[in-house]
Amino acid sequence: MYLIKTNGLLFISITFLLVLFSCSHQSVQEEVVIGEGSAYPLEGILTLPSAHEPVPAVVLVHGSGPSDRDQSVYSYNIFKDLAQALTEQEIAVLRYDKRTYTYQDSFTEEDLLTFTVYEETVEDAVRAIQHLQNDSRIDNEKIFLIGHSQGGMLAPRIYDASENLAGLIIMAGSPRPLWEIIYDQNLAILEDLDPDSTLYETNHQQLITEYEKAQQLADLTLEESINETIFGLPGYYLKEMESFNSEAVLREQSVPLLILQGEKDFQVNVEKDFEAYQSLLADRDHAHFILYPDLNHFFINYQGEGKGTIEEYHQGGHVEDVVIDDIVNWIKHTSD
């Protein structure tokens, strides 16, 4: 029996295909293709307010795993929530299907041995940013990135690869290595099992084994890591991801940062992740932090049966208005 794991629950050209419709709040949605002419073109949507002058815009970057443009997870569609709400506040939003969602059946086992977050997320996010910069309806000086979960973890790398962003919004991200977060997620699940059960013992031993392998990852070369699998992920993927120093980028750059976290998030830890950002950026005036007492990993307030487990994601809900308001106010304040 393999480890119990939670989903990541833990992105140069774009061409317009069709203007779909005008919404009741006078916004327009246009279908787009990111990376047209590349090996992996991606379909998406640009949602625009009906302004007569260039407007601020955001690119939405997914968390881990295959995900569509709405970042549909069970009953949640938080990227659709963000796109609709931000557009109502005169902010354009670009969202698109993730490469591993559109082409998940195209990658061979050999491909995955050396697959990295650059191919999975970074390259497409940079292409999306470049598109917005070439759109006369977008204010080039006011393009922001919103990364959720692993997308937030990769926000510094995307910024480093583009360096044309007005600010980064990290939602439920972490400055820690991905394997540490996966380890904590598994450990939390084990704590709910009977410690005397066979299920507990089997998974506990496997968890220790994977943790020890992860700790040894630092001593391996990138080539040596190809032969490893850690917490179900290719060692090369984890090693390459750690090779980029996100903490250094966050500290050395002065790009405005908004870091958001739900206190009831059981996938990303407030003490180990949100407070790690606070400690890392304690003396940086460009970083702003907001912790929401009753919100989960998707910034939704759920108080019913199954609270604190994956079950709550099946119950539906929308990103809370207070989160939308904070994002809008921060973007407008930063843009002034």
Which amino acid type is present at position 301?
N
Compute the average pLDDT of residues 202-219.
95
Q: Tell me what pLDDT residue 336 has.
A: 83
Whether pLDDT at 213 is above 90: yes
C-alpha–C-alpha distance, residues 280 and 259, integer Å: 12
Mean pLDDT, all residues of the chain: 91
Whether pLDDT at 12 is above 90: no
Structure tokens that stand for 268 in this block? 């990303």
> Is 72 in the active site?
no
CATH, range 14-177+245-335: 3.40.50.1820
Q: How distant, in Å, are the alpha carbons of 28, 67, 282, 304 from that of 317?
A: 24, 18, 33, 12
> Is 333 in the active site?
no
Binning pLDDT at 50, 70 and 90, where does residue 217 land?
very high
- Which of 131, 148, 288, 297 is labelled catalytic? 297
> Is 149 in the active site?
yes
H or E stretch covering 17: strand 14-22
Compute the average pLDDT of residues 136-145.
96
- Which of 64, 149, 162, 225 is labelled catalytic? 149
Spell 186-220 as b/e; 16+ CB within 10 A means b: beebeeeeeeeeeeeeebbebbeebbebbeebeeb
- Which of 68, 135, 265, 273 is labelled catalytic? 265
C-alpha–C-alpha distance, residues 183 and 181, integer Å: 5
Structure tokens that stand for 236 in this block? 């090369």
226-285 pLDDT per residue, tens: 999 999 999 999 999 999 999 999 999 999 999 999 999 999 999 999 999 999 999 999
Compute the average pLDDT of residues 176-181.
97
Q: Tell me what pLDDT residue 2 has.
A: 28
Radius of gyration of the chain (CA): 20
Residue with tokens 């955001």: 58
**Domains of the chain: which residue ranges?**
14-177+245-335
Q: How many CB atoms within 10 Å of residue 118?
A: 17
Q: Tell me what pLDDT residue 31 has.
A: 97
Binning pLDDT at 50, 70 and 90, where does residue 335 land?
confident
The answer to whether 166 and 138 have CB atoms below 8 angstroms apart is no
Q: Tell me what pLDDT residue 108 has.
A: 92
Bridge pairing between strands 138-148 and 92-96 = unpaired
Among 23-32, 119-128, 290-299, name the one with the lowest average pLDDT: 23-32
Q: Tell me what pLDDT residue 51 has.
A: 81
